[in-house]
Structures are given as structure tokens and as C-alpha cells.
Structure 1
Amino acid sequence: MVNAAPALYSVTIAHVRTAPRRYALRHRTYMWLIDPDHPPELPVPLRPLAGFDARDHFDGDRPSIRSGLDAFLAGHGVDLQGGPVVMLTHARVLGYVFNPLTLYWCHSPGGALRCVVAEVHNTYGGRHCYLLWPDASGRAWTDKEFYVSPFFPVDGRYRMRLPAPGERVDLTVQLERDGGRPFTATVRGTRKEVRTRTLLGLAVRRPWSTLAVSAAIRLHGIRLYLRGLPVQPRPDQHEHSVSENIS
């Protein structure tokens, strides 16, 4: 059975670039695993620390996150028939959120995994979703179709390893281009129960956690630019594309 109980994950996000110049970064933060049908309801004093708003996902025009997901899947001919979904994401903290990657593990009513949806946001305000069909080991492949890093063009292919989180979360996304893998991202961490003390401890250690993620991405981008990495032009595309099948 799918465990839809909400959980917190204290994670380390790592990026490694090997071309055109080697560069690595690590960032510690925390993420939520929730049931988008039933987002956690926190005590009133804690609600500023964790909000889950339908406007932050998909086209942002649906009454709930789950209805936005179902509309996206319907556009690709997928009907979960009410099957359970678990979602790994950053929550809105003190009114701000930035989600570089949100993942949805989508199941049939009997609990079998049907597909995974990877929702990617860039720092230009764009969002895009990939519909993935992982194999038994959680591996999936898809063409890159969305501008994320200003130092990579929109080409190549993603190789992903996306096993559903359990006691640990261990995700890998690799960009493949011209026979090589110039970019690898990992998300690794441990599960924690949703308790007031746990959430307060994470919030104190990682204040403004989603703002910190956004700021770190921009800071490292400036460092790469100052080191001479050429900026790739951003394609003229609809920045809120979620209708088609991540660095």
C-alpha cells in the first residue's frame, strides 16, 4: 500500500558540472512528502512555515494541486481513477516558495505505480512538466524540453533515477549531451515524522528555506558567469508550459 502520511525530509542537494568547466555545489534544506489530496493541516501558529497552494503548481488555475495534476495527466491520456499520489516538494515558507523540482508518484487504485510527473521551475518564472514512465528500478529517460540553466541549451536527454521515498530519499538526475554527462543533480536525505518540534528545528536551522534555494541558484550562476561560462540564449517559449513531456 502507498504510505500517504505526510513526512519531512532533511536533504542535501548536490550539483556537479563537468563541462564546459567543472563546478560543484551542495545545499542543505528540507522537503515535504505529502498527499496532494489531503495536504497537512498544521496548527495555526505553524502555518506560515508550510503552505501548499494550488497556484504554485501546474497552470495554477485549478482549485487544488490534485485537480491540477489530474488535468495534466488527462491531457496525456492518463486516468488514475482516483488512485493515490504522493508528492515531494518544497512548501511555501513565510509567503515565499521556489520549487526547482517537484515529483509526483502516481498510482492506480490498487497501489501499483502508474507514472511519475516531474514538475520543473526555473528562476525566470517558468514551469514545465515531464510525464515519466520509470522501470522497476525507478529509472526513466526523457528529452530535455525546458530552459533551466543559462549555461546549457535546450537539448540533450535526461536520465533519472526516481525511487519513491521511504526511510530515505535518494534521487538522481543526469543530463546527457554529445555522448557525455555534463551535469548531475542528486537529492539525498532522511525521513522525519511531522512533529511541531521537528518542523521548528528545521525552520530554525534553515530559515527562509525556499528563498535560500532561489538565492543560492542565482549566486552560483553569478560565480559561473564570472568564471567565463558563456550564457546560452533563452528560447522564445511560453514560460508556463506544462503540456509536454531537468539542470
Structure 2
Amino acid sequence: METRTDNAVVAPQLCFGTVRHRRLRPTTNAFDYGVYFLRLPLRTLGAGAFGPRLFSRNRFNLLSFHDRDHGDGKQALLPWIDGLLRAEGITDADGEIWLQAFPRVLGYVFNPVAFWFCHRIDGTLRAVVCEVRNTFGEKHCYLLDTGAAIGNGVELRARKQFHVSPFCKIEGGYRFRFMRSLRGASERTLACIDHDDASGPLLLTSISGSAAKLSNTAVATAFFTYPLMTIGVVVRIHWQALKLFVKRVPFISKPLPPSEPLSR
């Protein structure tokens, strides 16, 4: 397999793939299900539309993307991410910014995590911002920054500071790995997020997908293959929570919201 680290393809993508999740303790619980997600080259797109008639930007459609669903919900996306990076001392992420997230389906979306892949002008990955949400309507951003270019598959770490699940304490940290690769003409992406607590690995999660051009055909395929996918994301979250409750995994009440919007 040929490893790909550049940004030669700068058209919006709809990726078809799988979410996987495995809990290791105090009882095992695992699931996987099919999903699709967007990868959007924000600098190339600017404020323009995406093209397909079945996909809209900032208005209702079968599938859509609304700028206010990301960033601070107020600023345009590029000024927001560029400002965040500058505030953290990152001034060389002047290449493409790829945003990976679920689209709205019939106007509804819930993104447990969205990724901002921030590249240098030469195409190397400089930093990643992970935009995490919980079902209480709260959001927290983790900045992954090594101070240099980030290689394909390199492990990145961040201390956990945000309440996501009532079955996990706010302790320990995350291990991230991001990979892009080519197999023939097909581009594949993989994002792994593993959570370790004081006793070691606790949760192993990933989202993977094969990229397709964002087209009417791809939108129709996604919509009819996975009807009401984003509603299904929330339903599955609560279903898995019920299974953990039945298995008597300790329940942890939600603490106060974090006081800082960004952490490393």
C-alpha cells in the first residue's frame, strides 16, 4: 500500500466506512456499524457551495453542511481555525485545512468528534484539532501539536479533560493515530482514538472510510443505504449506554463543564 501524505486531491469527499468501539473493563462491550462522513478542503472551498444538487451548504437538503455546526458557531470557519492555531503559537499551518465530520441528514446532525487536519503549504500535516461533543450539548477541543510535521500513523497524546460518557471518569488520556493511504485509485482514511486510565487501556475506538467524490450519486447512495444515519448515531449511543447500565458498569454523574475551551 502506498502511503499518502500530500493534499493532491482538493475536492470535497464523501467517505463510506465503519465506526468501531471496544470497551475492555470492567466488562467487555464492543460494536461496529456502517457510516459515512465528509472531508472538506476548507481553503479550496472558501465560502462557496459544494456542487451537487442533493447536497447544500447552510440550507436544508437530503444532506447538508452548516458552518455554524463547527468552530465557535459565530465566525467563519477559516478565521476561527487560523485564529485558534495562531493563539497556540502555530503559524506555519498555511496549507489546506481538511475538516472531517458527519453531515446533516434531513437537517439533523450530531458529531461526537470532528477533526480539523491542518497542513503546511508543502502538504505535510502540522496539527490536528479534535472537536469533541457530548449529548449534553457541550463541546471541547483538543489540540494535537508536536511542534513539527506529523507523520502518517504517528501516535499523538492528550490528557482527558471533558466529560463524554457517564461510564468513564475524566482521568487518564487519549492516544490518537491518523492515517491516509492509497490502494489503486482509492483513498482511505483511518482515525483511531484510544482512552487509557490509571489501569491502562480502557476504550479502543476508530472511524475509517474510503473516499468518493461528493456527487449526487454518492449522496443518494449514502442517504438510502444508511437512512437517518445521524439520528441513528444518537440512538446507538443511548442503546450502548443502556447495555453498560444493565452490565452494572459504574455510573458517573456529569461534572461541571470544563473552564477552558482548548487543551493539549
Q: Same fold (TM over 0.5)?
A: yes
> Which residue identity is paired with 1:27?
Y
1:167-246 equivalences in 2 (<5 Å): 167-238=187-258, 242-245=261-264
Deviating 4+ runs (over 6 angstroms): none
* Alpha-carbon distance in structure 2 between the residues aligned to 1:197 and 1:25: 29
1:134-149 equivalences in 2 (<5 Å): 135-136=150-151, 137-149=153-165
* Alpha-carbon distance in structure 1 between the residues aligned to 2:181 and 2:241: 29
2:78 alignment partner, SS class: helix
> Which residue identity is paired with 2:51?
L
Percent identity reads: 28
Identify unmatched segments of 5+ residues in structure 1: none
1:156-171 equivalences in 2 (<5 Å): 156-164=172-180, 167-171=187-191
**CA distances 1:120-153 after superposition (whole Å, capped 9, x unpaired):** 1111111111110364233211111111111001
1:162 alignment partner, SS class: strand
Partner of 1:36: 42
Indicate which of 126, 130, 138 corresponds to 1:118: 130
1:70 alignment partner, SS class: helix
1:10-89 equivalences in 2 (<5 Å): 10-37=16-43, 38=45, 40-47=49-56, 48-62=61-75, 64-80=76-92, 82-89=94-101
Task: Give the TM-score normalised by the residue count of structure 1.
Answer: 0.90
> Which residue identity is paired with 1:225?
F
Q: CA deviation at 1:113?
A: 1.8
* Alpha-carbon distance in structure 2 between the residues aligned to 1:49 and 1:197: 12
Partner of 2:120: 108
> Which residue identity is paired with 2:208?
R
Partner of 2:3: none
1:67 alignment partner, SS class: helix
> Which residue identity is paired with 1:187?
I
Identify unmatched segments of 5+ residues in structure 2: 1-5
> Which residue identity is paired with 2:239?
L
Higher share of residues assigned strand: 2
Q: 1:59 to 1:13 in 2, by over 3 A?
A: same
1:236 alignment partner, SS class: coil
Number of matched residues?
Answer: 243
* Alpha-carbon distance in structure 2 between the residues aligned to 1:205 and 1:146: 33
Q: 1:81 to 1:113 in 2, by over 3 A?
A: closer
Of 208-217 and 134-143, the range deviating more from structure 2: 134-143
Partner of 2:106: 94
Task: Give the TM-score normalised by the residue count of structure 2.
Answer: 0.85
